[in-house]
């Protein structure tokens, strides 16, 4: 075979065949995939769908040859790439995973893209032209020595894709490549994939919940059946027509079947007192080994009202999460005023003893940041973007009990609250499971439940719907709507327009600043309350 010239990036697409293939992870009773028969022709672009638990990721890992060996599970049937087993076909297959942070291997952009080529033994003279070509294909116009740690999530995913493309694989696998990205990042990555597979002619297999993002660039959809085998297989449009309703019910985002929106009480009926008020507020974080915070946004004026949902939106780096953590009483304001009103400080039980942050007489001060950790519980609850950051216990039940115990509730009262939440959030069957072993949707439900266990007046959520399937999404929206109707205030940082439409009564847009790249400099983030907010009339008039 003649050596390909550097600019020639056409490859022969790989063929994937499966006959009666299955895999059971070691220690599990049921196989993750079973009875799979499949034939993907060279150059085809396939979207693989299926409810969570249908074994989509297992199939991807198997195709990439990283599923492990006999110790890691039992294989049945046969899964072949161009007629050989995936483990022997390394280099023919490239895999991009979901988490942008844990795919970057090396510290500089050029070196990271070159990594796969090096592992395949590509001669040095050929590596660098391939690297430049791959970076060009994914639209990453950066110096080769640019530090990978300075990239955004979307850029990191495009970098991972470039690393895969530089290996010139015949089969490109994408395992939820855009689940952790904001809308701009999603489009960036999708377009980069489209351009590059068109240029190379490689076979493409994508797993993703959000059909709308991919349906125009794939030509075939395969739906895996959780019970084994395939539920549907065919051209994109016909599968979506025939299976759309069923897939939507199973949590797949299908454009024609948007998740239902909850009925809401009219705003005038549920809105209550102001709980938290910010004026001229500046927010920022204190960098490691420094004393002064780096301000990311300032001049923020905002009232948080009982029974009202406020969405904080804006581009990456505008300081949305920092603002949320400041409102939550977790970060100290970098300037200006943030005060809790009497309506919020008086929430929950009587303060037990005088201490830090209290005025004499056992009354809580107005600055949430100086409250004791326990005083936050019944007043402000925070749901973090990464649920794993807030898990503390070894089982779901214990996790839910932590908050109520910290409040000093008795055993019976704790058990009462925990059982109620397990039931309400469909976590009963997982009561004894370790929180870290749950699926993405289950982790999200649990992280919300842990906060609800102490019944806070104000709920602050950071990207609550990131990477969630439509089922978890609608459960979450329904739950928040119920809480709003009963007078809880909700503040959510979000990129999700559906979420804003379904819930938000007010929308705050944080304008972009120079972002963390200009660390040390004080940049001004102006805040502009969207005048008419976004009252979702259809949802609101749906109230009885």
Q: By the criterion CB under 8 A, which residues form the site for other proteins?
A: 61, 64-66, 90-91, 93-95, 97, 99, 101-108, 110-111, 114-124, 127-128, 131, 145, 147, 149-150, 160, 163-164, 167, 285, 288, 325, 328, 330-331, 372-374, 376-377, 381-382, 384, 386, 388-390, 392, 402-403, 406-407, 436, 450-451, 454
Nearer to other proteins (CB atom), residue 99 or residue 303: 99
Classify residue 353 as left (phi > 0), alpha (psi -120 to 50) or beta.
beta
Nearer to other proteins (CB atom), residue 107 or residue 342: 107
Nearer to other proteins (CB atom), residue 300 or residue 331: 331
Residue 137 in tokens: 């294909």
Q: How far is the CB of 64 from other proteins (least distance, A)?
A: 5
Q: How far is the CB of 197 from other proteins (least distance, A)?
A: 17
| Nearest to 439, CA basis, from 479, 461, 472 | 472
Q: How far is the CB of 542 from other proteins (least distance, A)?
A: 33
Nearer to other proteins (CB atom), residue 353 or residue 532: 353
- Could you give the strand order of the β-sheet that contains 33-40, starting from the edge strand earlier in sequence? 33-40, 16-25, 73-81
At residue 391, φ and ψ (nearest 5 deg) are -85, 135
CA distance 180 to 100: 8
Question: 222: how many CB neighbours lie within 10 A of its CB?
Answer: 22
CA distance 274 to 166: 56
How do 363-364 and 358-359 pair as beta strands? antiparallel
Nearer to other proteins (CB atom), residue 58 or residue 215: 58
What are the residues facing 274 on neighbouring strands? 305
Q: How far is the CB of 234 from other proteins (least distance, A)?
A: 29
CA distance 425 to 416: 14
Q: How far is the CB of 373 from other proteins (least distance, A)?
A: 3
Only one residue has tokens 């740690």, namely: 149
3-state SS track over 7-65:
CCCCCCCCCEEEEEEEEEECCCCCCCEEEEEEEECCCCEEEEECCCCCCHHHHHHHHHC
Is residue 274 helix, strand or coil? strand
Nearer to other proteins (CB atom), residue 311 or residue 402: 402
Nearer to other proteins (CB atom), residue 40 or residue 409: 409
CA distance 303 to 297: 17
Residue 274 in tokens: 């102001």
Nearer to other proteins (CB atom), residue 152 or residue 534: 152
DSSP secondary-structure letter at 295?
A: E
Nearer to other proteins (CB atom), residue 122 or residue 363: 122
Nearer to other proteins (CB atom), residue 178 or residue 236: 178
Q: How far is the CB of 539 from other proteins (least distance, A)?
A: 29
Residue 441 in tokens: 């949707």
Nearer to other proteins (CB atom), residue 307 or residue 403: 403
DSSP secondary-structure letter at 89?
A: G
CA gyration radius, the chain: 25
Only one residue has tokens 């294989």, namely: 75
Q: How far is the CB of 244 from other proteins (least distance, A)?
A: 32
Q: How far is the CB of 284 from other proteins (least distance, A)?
A: 13
Q: How far is the CB of 149 from other proteins (least distance, A)?
A: 5
Distances in Å between the Cα of 404 and the Cα atoms of 173, 350, 429, 432, 450 are 45, 15, 21, 18, 9
CA distance 352 to 403: 16
Q: How far is the CB of 480 from other proteins (least distance, A)?
A: 18
Question: 157: how many CB neighbours lie within 10 A of its CB?
Answer: 30
Q: How far is the CB of 39 from other proteins (least distance, A)?
A: 23
Only one residue has tokens 């065919």, namely: 234
């Amino acid at each position: 075979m003649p050596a390909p010239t550097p600019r020639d990036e056409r490859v022969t697409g790989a063929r994937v065949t499966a006959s009666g293939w299955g895999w059971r992870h070691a220690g599990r009773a049921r196989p993750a995939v079973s009875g799979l028969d499949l034939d993907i022709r060279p150059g085809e672009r396939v979207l693989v769908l299926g409810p969570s638990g249908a074994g989509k990721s297992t199939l991807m890992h198997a195709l990439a040859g990283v599923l492990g060996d006999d110790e890691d599970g039992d294989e049945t049937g046969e899964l072949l790439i161009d007629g050989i087993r995936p483990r022997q076909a390394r280099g023919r297959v490239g895999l991009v995973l979901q988490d942008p942070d844990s795919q970057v291997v090396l510290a500089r952009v050029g070196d990271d893209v070159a990594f796969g080529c090096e592992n395949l033994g590509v001669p040095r003279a050929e590596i660098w032209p391939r690297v430049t070509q791959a970076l060009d294909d994914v639209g990453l116009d950066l110096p080769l020595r640019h530090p990978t740690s300075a990239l955004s999530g979307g850029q990191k995913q495009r970098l991972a894709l470039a690393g895969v493309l530089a290996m010139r694989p015949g089969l490109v696998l994408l395992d939820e490549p855009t689940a952790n990205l904001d809308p701009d990042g999603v489009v960036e990555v999708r377009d980069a994939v489209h351009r590059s597979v068109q240029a190379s002619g490689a076979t493409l297999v994508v797993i993703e919940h959000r059909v709308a993002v991919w349906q125009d660039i794939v030509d075939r959809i395969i739906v895996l059946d959780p019970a084994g085998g395939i539920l549907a297989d065919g051209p994109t449009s016909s599968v979506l027509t025939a299976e759309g309703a069923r897939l939507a019910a199973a949590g797949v985002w299908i454009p024609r079947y948007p998740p239902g929106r909850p009925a809401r009480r009219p705003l005038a009926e549920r809105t209550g007192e102001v709980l938290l008020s910010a004026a001229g507020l500046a927010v920022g974080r204190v960098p490691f080994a420094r004393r002064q915070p780096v301000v990311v946004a300032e001049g923020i004026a905002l009232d948080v009202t009982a029974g009202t949902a406020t969405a904080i939106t804006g581009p990456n780096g505008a300081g949305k999460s920092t603002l949320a953590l400041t409102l939550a009483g977790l970060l100290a304001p970098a300037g200006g005023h943030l005060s809790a009103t009497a309506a919020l400080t008086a929430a929950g039980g009587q303060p037990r003893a005088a201490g830090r942050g209290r005025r004499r007489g056992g009354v809580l001060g107005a600055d949430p940041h100086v409250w004791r950790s326990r005083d936050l519980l019944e007043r402000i609850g925070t749901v973090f973007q990464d649920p794993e950051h807030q898990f503390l216990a070894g089982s779901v039940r214990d996790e839910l009990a932590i908050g109520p115990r910290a409040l000093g509730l008795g055993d019976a009262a704790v058990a009462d609250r925990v059982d109620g939440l397990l039931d309400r959030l469909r976590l009963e069957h997982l009561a004894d499971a370790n929180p870290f072993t749950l699926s993405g949707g289950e982790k999200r439900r649990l992280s919300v439940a842990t906060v609800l266990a102490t019944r806070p007046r104000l709920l602050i959520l950071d990207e609550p719907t990131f990477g969630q399937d439509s089922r978890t999404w609608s459960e979450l929206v329904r739950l928040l709507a119920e809480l709003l109707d009963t007078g809880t205030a909700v503040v959510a940082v979000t990129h999700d327009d559906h979420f804003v439409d379904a819930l938000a009564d007010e929308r705050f847009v944080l304008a972009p600043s120079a972002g963390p790249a200009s660390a040390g400099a004080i940049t001004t983030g102006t805040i502009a309350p969207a005048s008419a907010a976004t009252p979702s009339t259809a949802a609101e008039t749906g109230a009885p």
